[in-house]
């Protein structure tokens, strides 16, 4: 999201056009009057501004548009395995899968931690000989899929996304050429706007919960983009958030509830244990 701000400053015409289109269509969408999704509108507006101001794609001289498989014999390196194994395990289990499970459960789906972990390991083992990356329940992509639409029918979006991913793989040469040819500001703004709805729902769910301090710590550490022991900020954000939760916000066994939160008309009312609470009985 920070890239949206920086890219808009760097390319104000493209940024202003895409942002105005996106928020204008979002305003219409919430009144059931949007002719097309906000992200698609922003993408088309940005492309129109680009080509309207004289931007031209360079000629493609990289060969065929369709990717050609290349066979590479695997080579086992104990030193490389020892260096990559732990960071990869942490990233897959405690970052990617953890994010995916949190997103799906927050959307009302009963994601099994054991099933997700086993499936991730099996699919990763199958794809590894072909040079594939680990198979995970990715948080950002699932968050985009469940951010809209009808509950229980999000699998349709997942199937379509899978088909698109296969098509991108087949035409990888063309996709790489297109992405590297387009201005970085356009790509950054488009990617940031794609996460707008996801972030909105995440912020509302996190900071309206009974654990606002943990949520804030996770957000701040993630935003820092710190890397420690070759592990990214997302993992350390989860570690810091869990530490604050267990050290400060977790209710101990046998301890009275610290406070009760009642949400009404967008307001949060907090009651301490000694307060007298009188609730009307219907």
pLDDT in tens, 219-249: 888 878 778 777 778 778 888 888 888 888 7
Kindly state the tokens that stand for 91. 């990233």
Q: 128 to each of 124, 132, 168, 185, 205, how far by Cα in Å?
A: 6, 5, 20, 34, 36
Mean pLDDT of 92-103: 81
CA nearest to 274, candidates 253, 252, 258: 258
Q: Range with the lowest mean pLDDT among 8-12, 47-51, 140-144? A: 140-144
Report percent pLDDT > 90 for the chain: 9
Q: Alpha-carbon distance 64 to 174, whole Å?
A: 8
The overall average pLDDT reported for the chain is 79
Phi, psi of 58 (to 5 degrees): -70, 155
* More confident: 148 or 113: 113
Beta bridge mates, 271: 260
Report percent pLDDT > 70 for the chain: 84
Kindly state the tokens that stand for 74. 């695997």
Is 0.85 topped by the overall pTM?
no
Q: Which segments of 53-107 does DSSP mark as H helices, in order?
A: 78-90, 97-106
Mean pLDDT of 29-54: 88
| Confidence class for position 273, pLDDT limits 50, 70, 90 | very low
Distance, CA of 97 to chain centre: 12
Mean pLDDT of 142-170: 84
């Amino acid at each position: 999201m920070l890239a949206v701000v920086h890219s808009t400053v760097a390319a104000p015409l493209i940024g202003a056009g895409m942002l105005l289109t996106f928020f204008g269509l979002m305003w219409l969408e919430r009144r059931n009057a949007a002719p097309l999704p906000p992200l698609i509108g922003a993408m088309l507006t940005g492309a129109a501004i680009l080509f309207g101001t004289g931007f031209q794609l360079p000629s493609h001289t990289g060969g065929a548009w369709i990717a050609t498989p290349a066979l590479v014999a695997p080579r086992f390196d104990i030193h490389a395995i020892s260096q990559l194994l732990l960071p990869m395990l942490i990233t897959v289990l405690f970052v990617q899968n953890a994010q995916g499970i949190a997103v799906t459960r927050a959307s009302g789906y009963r994601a099994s931690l054991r099933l997700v972990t086993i499936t991730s390991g099996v699919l990763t083992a199958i794809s590894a000989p072909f040079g594939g990356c680990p198979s995970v329940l990715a948080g950002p992509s699932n968050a985009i899929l469940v951010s809209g639409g009808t509950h229980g029918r999000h699998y349709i979006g997942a199937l379509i996304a899978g088909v698109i991913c296969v098509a991108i793989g087949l035409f990888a040469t063309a996709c790489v050429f297109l992405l590297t040819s387009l201005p970085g500001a356009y790509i950054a703004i488009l990617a940031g706007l794609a996460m707008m709805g996801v972030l909105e729902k995440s912020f509302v769910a996190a900071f309206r919960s009974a654990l606002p301090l943990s949520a804030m710590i996770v957000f701040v550490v993630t935003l820092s983009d710190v890397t420690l022991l070759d592990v990214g900020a997302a993992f350390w954000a989860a570690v810091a958030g869990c530490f604050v939760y267990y050290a400060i916000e977790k209710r101990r066994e046998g301890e009275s509830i610290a406070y009760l939160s009642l949400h009404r008309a967008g307001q949060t009312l907090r009651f301490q244990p000694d307060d007298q609470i009188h609730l009307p009985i219907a």
